[in-house]
A = this chain, B = another copy of it.
Amino acid sequence: MLQINILYVGNIKDKFLADAVAEYEKRLSSSCKLKHIELKEEKPPENPNDAEIAAVIRKEGDRLLQALPQRSYKIALCVEGKQISSEELAKKLADIPLMGTSEITFIIGGAFGMDERVKRAADFRLSISKMTFTHRMMRVILIEQIYRALNILGGGSYHK
């Protein structure tokens, strides 16, 4: 069974988003082992300047790099990554075990973005959209796409 880790910075404060994640988690429980790795968010000062933002990104980057399951296939979510269709994501999830690991880690950066070192450490950079979403909203979108991808692979009826 595929082991899927979702590694991210910060917790979900909004109940309506947490409920959405919990629901997809439940639906995923029969098709993969899902693990959330939640890292502490770095609090910037109010109205942070560029250097202060860079410091937040760097500190959160340190934490992400340290927590990254090294033997897993690592997929970093970032706007400059490659856009693929849901079917292509499904194919990717099916192909990864053939490359020697059945563990996949999706990485979501913090409120100010993801450290370049984390992007470089990833095996694949995935872009969901040209639009910006909160990193919290991104968790909902990602988990729905993982559910969709595994459903495509399993021949399920979850459709558009």
Interface residues in chain A, defined as those with a beta carbon under 8 Å from any beta carbon in chain B: 14-17, 19-20, 22-23, 83-86, 89, 111-113, 128-135, 137, 140-141, 144-145, 148, 158-160
Contact = CB atoms under 8 A, between A and B. Distances in A.
B83 A130 contact: yes
Contacts of A140: 20, 140
Contacts of A86: 131-132
B19 A131 contact: no
A16 B19 contact: yes
Contacts of A135: 160
Nearest to A138: B160
A144 B133 contact: yes
> Can you tell how many copies of this chain the complex includes?
2
Nearest to A134: B160
Contacts of A132: 85-86, 148, 160
Contacts of A133: 141, 144-145, 160
B131 A89 contact: yes
Contacts of A15: 19
A76 B131 CA distance: 16
Give 6 nearest A-B pairs by CB, closest first: A16-B19, A16-B20, A83-B130, A129-B129, A86-B132, A86-B131
